[in-house]
Amino acid sequence: MCPEEELNGKPNYRLLALEGTRESKQVEVSTRQAKYEISTTGISTNGGTLTILIRSRSTTDPQLLTRCVELSGNGYIQSGTWNDNTDFCDSS
């Protein structure tokens, strides 16, 4: 998150280039952590892993997968499929 003086009225976070469009309202995005800080060098200041979960809002199919993106404490990024049974982002 950027300090207020660097934002110049812009939003703190921007995940979708299609923000505010009909398409952007078709997905749910959440995190597994209530708070996560990243230094200017891209490394976690608390040493943990940030897990972002992404899924479609427009389906009734229970088999639809939740995708995940993880940012490790040292700046390594991986993506995969979220496993609700193990609470694990499977990148295989």
Q: Is pLDDT above 60 for 82? A: yes
Q: Is residue 67 part of a domain?
A: yes
Query: How is the beta sheet containing 77-83 ordered, strand by strand?
Result: 27-31, 50-56, 67-71, 77-83, 88-90
Q: Is residue 63 part of a domain?
A: yes
Predicted confidence (pLDDT) per residue in 32-74, tens digit: 888 888 777 777 777 788 899 988 887 777 677 889 999 888 8
pLDDT more than 90, % of the chain? 10
Q: Is residue 16 part of a domain?
A: no
Q: Is residue 46 part of a domain?
A: yes
Q: What is the tally of structural domains in the chain?
A: 1
35 Cα distance to chain centroid: 12
The pLDDT of residue 75:
77
Euclidean distance between the first and the last CA atom of the chain, given in angstroms as a whole number: 30
Alpha carbon separation from 51 to 56, 61, 63, 70 (Å, rounded): 17, 23, 21, 4
Q: Is residue 40 part of a domain?
A: yes
Q: Is residue 73 part of a domain?
A: yes
User: pTM for the full model?
Assistant: 0.67
6 band by pLDDT with thresholds 50, 70 and 90: low
Range of the domain at 60: 28-90
The pLDDT of residue 2:
47
Q: Is residue 1 part of a domain?
A: no
Task: Give the whole-angstrom CA distance, residue 83 versus residue 67.
Answer: 9
